[in-house]
Structure 1
Amino acid sequence: MAAALATTLFAAAGCSDDGDDTSAGSGSQALEKITYLTSFGNFGRDSYAYVAKEKGYFRDAGFDVEIKPGSGSGENIKQIVAGQAQFTPIDLTGGLLAVGGEGKVTGFTAVAAIQQRTMAAIMTLDGYGISSPKDLEGKTLADLPGSVVRNLFPTYAKAANVDPAKVKFVNGAPTTLFGTLAQHKVDGIGQFVVGKPTIEGIAKGKTAVLLPYSDYLQDLYGNALITNSTYAKENPEKVKKFTAALLKGLQDSITSPDEAGTVLKKNVPTADPKSAAAELTLMAPFVRSEASGVPVGALDSQRVARSIAILQGSGQIQAGLTPEQVINFDLVPNA
């Protein structure tokens, strides 16, 4: 039923926010209108999509793209499966948990990596009494339901020797998490490591303290680009073209973060271009693999299998999940 609904909605989904992108460069072929969701709000870490659009990479690939702010892995997956959006980055571990967990979500597939290592972390501020994972016990953390930081916390806690039963989570929203932390309404929040410049700009005079999950969970990827499974099966060349255009914007953004921050500000007036550039600078080593010869966007099935084993070992997903159930390796760049 979900696949059928998604197929129906794909024909109608998406509308342009740029009238100049309604026809191809030659004027001979109309562009396909699609909706792209950012991973989480409109922070600097997601500005590469705006760069890809601003520089005409999407248009050249045959797409008229409307970019909307996403709400985290769980909600973004729902919109992809329902056909309300066609592409979005989610945390790949969140995708593994969705497919291999109790819900057994289907209807989406990953087609490229955005970050080669997870950026998930617990963020707090100096003076809040948290400097190591063990300090989380007895504390209250905020995050949105379904976020990968929150869903992955039991696995992180086990690896870091933390009792997850002694850590309280309360619900938060993308637009309020930073303010909630800055006002010390909670002791910490779920966040990506690249959020450091943003929180320090909000909580004037305070220094961010980060507990990166990658300190203990080194095999996990960060965000991965996903699309609807039916769309990928029926339009493999379109998926490859969109992916290439987005990754070109990603490479430009981490190479020229100041320019990307300016582009984000142009498209999102409330954005801070300096914070955006700082986020992209911090994100660059997560996008570029430390292993030589691994291209931006690549996904390795053996590494994904090790990630699955980690999640199975902590009891978060059931036995039997394979990388191919979550990733279409035929569509992954340089697969």
Structure 2
Amino acid sequence: MSRLTRTVATLVLTCTFIVGCSNSDNQPQTSTSSIKPLEKVTYLTSFGNFGRDAYAWVAKDKGFFREAGLDVDIKPGSGTGDNIAKVEAGAAMFAPVDLTGLLLARGSGGAKSIVVVAGVQQRTMAALISLQGNGISKPKDLEGKTLADSPGSVVRNLFPTYAKLAGVDATKVTWVNGAPANLIGLLASGTVAGIGQFVVGEPTVESVAKGRQAVVLPYSDVMSDLYGNVLVTTTTIAREQPDLAKRFIAALMKGLVHSIDNPDETGRILQKNVPASAAAPAAAELTLMSAFVRPEGSGDVVGTIDTKRVAGSIKLLQDAGAVPSGLTPDQLISADLTPKP
């Protein structure tokens, strides 16, 4: 046997018996039995599929969830009340809800198995949006008008408190029901004079209204210390699956940061995954939302929750008669899971 023949034979035998020899694509062989399967997670957006909720699609599209070992199923939410009910019922594991809406629900004896695990918006984005020509330019103009929103929306449920602080007679305002996806259409068609929305909904409203300028009445004008959306889960998941919760929170917050830093790309990602959504208005929403996401005084850390501010929100609602005494931040917030400054 020649020296060349002996060398080739030795190489063949070595490749045959040593684990990890390269395959035909020069990639290391990996046993499929050693690959850990992705864990299933169900998630609801806060309200339909607008730009303000696109960060979840970014986390999925950019692979942040997969990197965390998660396979996330994203479904459109229908507002705070409905999201709370679905998370409690096990229809979803995580969802963003408005913190004030959660406080109102807990104050009335509900949402007992819900816990806050991250902040999404450091200030409330709740608002009423109308259009020029509808006779609404200030809160007092709401009297005698018809507004639309879903029954479980925090904008609608918080309206009595907003009205009291803004000097509006809430009994003179008529509310009708509207599904999240249909609200802007109801406003643009003239069916109602205003709708419950987030402040960042202004670009989307104007894109549908075609030429008519939006009129925005932010709740933060009279309730400046309130948080906006927070991420919630059940007390059971927080207690029994803290590692999964931490991985999900980190990946979702990574998607949130990427979204507000790259609004145009995020708008395209949303439209790719939800074709009915328009990229440009979604990007405009995210540009507006950026100022609500970055927590003041804590660098670039996103997702933090200040329990002192939450205590202040509780007091504000208690002073307005919307929440009974006895509610405290530690009853609502999982300090072990929330991101730290």
TM-score of the superposition, structure 1-length normalised?
0.90
Shift of 1:293: 3.2
Change (3 A) 1:26 1:327: farther
CA contact (8 A) 1:308 1:321 kept: yes
Listed as ranges, the gaps of 5+ residues in structure 2 are 1-31
Moved over 3 A (4+): 290-294
1:11: which partner in 2? none
Structure 2 counterpart of 1:42, from 40, 44, 49? 49
Partner SS state of residue 118, structure 2: strand
1:10: which partner in 2? none
Q: Deviations over 1:131-155 (max 9, x none)?
A: 0011111111111001100011111
1:93: which partner in 2? 100
2:208: which partner in 1? 202
The 5 A counterparts of 1:198-237 are: 198-237=204-243
Structure 2 counterpart of 1:296, from 294, 302, 327? 302
The 5 A counterparts of 1:302-317 are: 302-317=308-323
The 5 A counterparts of 1:47-86 are: 47-86=54-93
Listed as ranges, the gaps of 5+ residues in structure 1 are 1-24
User: Which amino acid counterpart does residue 152 of structure 2 have in structure 1?
Assistant: G
The separation in 1 between residues aligned to 2:119 and 2:297, in whole angstroms, is 15
Q: Deviations over 1:289-335 (max 9, x none)?
A: 24353721010011000100111111111110011112112211017
Shift of 1:186: 0.8
The separation in 2 between residues aligned to 1:110 and 1:334, in whole angstroms, is 14
1:179 matched to 2:208: no
Q: Deviations over 1:6-57 (max 9, x none)?
A: xxxxxxxxxxxxxxxxxxx996101111111100000011110010011111
1:147: which partner in 2? 153
Shift of 1:203: 0.6
User: Which amino acid counterpart does residue 177 of structure 2 have in structure 1?
Assistant: N
The separation in 1 between residues aligned to 2:85 and 2:208, in whole angstroms, is 31
1:9: which partner in 2? none
The separation in 1 between residues aligned to 2:300 and 2:164, in whole angstroms, is 30
The separation in 1 between residues aligned to 2:60 and 2:116, in whole angstroms, is 21
User: Which amino acid counterpart does residue 67 of structure 2 have in structure 1?
Assistant: D
CA contact (8 A) 2:137 2:215 kept: yes
1:157: which partner in 2? 163
The separation in 2 between residues aligned to 1:161 and 1:26, in whole angstroms, is 66
CA contact (8 A) 2:295 2:304 kept: no
Q: After the TM superposition, which of the residue ranges 290-299 and 155-164 deviates more from structure 2?
A: 290-299
Shift of 1:100: 1.2
Change (3 A) 1:183 1:29: same
User: Which amino acid counterpart does residue 142 of structure 1 have in structure 2?
Assistant: A
Shift of 1:238: 1.5
CA contact (8 A) 1:157 1:163 kept: yes
Q: Deviations over 1:263-292 (max 9, x none)?
A: 111100111000110000010000012435
2:10: which partner in 1? none
Structure 2 counterpart of 1:133, from 119, 131, 139? 139
Q: Deviations over 1:74-117 (max 9, x none)?
A: 1111111111111110111111111112x432111110000000
The separation in 1 between residues aligned to 2:80 and 2:174, in whole angstroms, is 21
CA contact (8 A) 2:79 2:153 kept: yes
The separation in 2 between residues aligned to 1:261 and 1:160, in whole angstroms, is 35
The separation in 1 between residues aligned to 2:158 and 2:297, in whole angstroms, is 25
Q: Percentage identity across aligned positions?
A: 62
CA contact (8 A) 1:154 1:314 kept: no
The separation in 1 between residues aligned to 2:92 and 2:232, in whole angstroms, is 10
1:167 matched to 2:191: no
Shift of 1:208: 0.3
Partner SS state of residue 135, structure 2: coil
Aligned length: 310
1:15: which partner in 2? none
Change (3 A) 1:26 1:213: farther
The separation in 2 between residues aligned to 1:96 and 1:60, in whole angstroms, is 34
User: Which amino acid counterpart does residue 225 of structure 2 have in structure 1?
Assistant: D
1:122: which partner in 2? 128
Partner SS state of residue 130, structure 2: strand
Partner SS state of residue 162, structure 1: coil
Shift of 1:60: 1.1
The separation in 2 between residues aligned to 1:83 and 1:292, in whole angstroms, is 34
Structure 1 counterpart of 2:331, from 321, 325, 331? 325
CA contact (8 A) 1:45 1:283 kept: yes
Q: After the TM superposition, which of the residue ranges 55-64 and 292-301 deviates more from structure 2?
A: 292-301
Shift of 1:213: 0.3
The separation in 1 between residues aligned to 2:229 and 2:91, in whole angstroms, is 20
TM-score of the superposition, structure 2-length normalised?
0.89
User: Which amino acid counterpart does residue 51 of structure 1 have in structure 2?
Assistant: V
Partner SS state of residue 175, structure 1: helix
Structure 2 counterpart of 1:246, from 226, 229, 252? 252
The separation in 2 between residues aligned to 1:313 and 1:207, in whole angstroms, is 35
The separation in 1 between residues aligned to 2:261 and 2:37, in whole angstroms, is 31
Partner SS state of residue 37, structure 2: coil
Partner SS state of residue 225, structure 1: strand
